[in-house]
Homo-oligomer: A and B are copies of this chain.
Amino acid sequence: MHEPADVVPAWQDAWNRADADHLAALFAEDADFVNVVGLWWHDRSSIRDAHDFGFRTIFPGSVITMAEPRVRRLGTDAAVVQSRWHLTGQISPAGEAAGPREGIFTFVLERRTQGWVAVTAQNTDIAPGAQTHLNSAAGQSPVHYRPRTS
């Protein structure tokens, strides 16, 4: 990649082609990736395989739209790039259409001799109106707290 921000359209393109190889090529061999449910991959091949599985089962035909990247340069050879995203076309485990999702992607990139590569990525779903998660006997869910008024 020529510029750090290139990771955002490149991610969108790879996702929308359901191309795990192109997606994985954005990452360094030893890249870390934390997905929306806390799966934590530590290398490019794990990132590739997990997304290949997803494209075949969860996300075939899904469409992601990435927003304008926000770029924070850290010196000359590192950068943080963040982008909101919108996803449609996901399917449920039963194969039914699921609702759209929105979230925030953070990529950390490093300049290497061949150009910029992603060394860390983390992805988070937006749960509208929630402040945090809560675990209970029913499982994990986003929860809405309100200030206690006197």
Chain A residues engaging chain B, CB cutoff 8 angstroms = 32, 34-40, 53-54, 57-58, 70, 72, 74-78, 80, 82, 90, 92-93, 98-104, 106, 108, 110, 119-120, 122, 124-127, 130-137, 139-148
Contacts and interface: CB of A to CB of B under 8 A. Distances in A.
Most chain B Cβ neighbours within 10 Å, of A119, A140, A142: A140
A124 B75 contact: no
A72 B86 CA distance: 30
17 contacts: A36-B124, A37-B127, A37-B132, A40-B104, A54-B131, A57-B148, A80-B108, A90-B135, A92-B143, A93-B144, A106-B122, A108-B108, A122-B124, A124-B124, A127-B140, A139-B141, A139-B142
Nearest to A70: B32
A29 B102 CA distance: 27
Copies in the complex: 2
Contact of A82 (B32, B35, B57, B134): B32
B122 A140 contact: no
A131 B39 contact: yes
Contact of A108 (B53, B74, B98): B74
A134 B92 contact: yes
A145 B82 contact: no
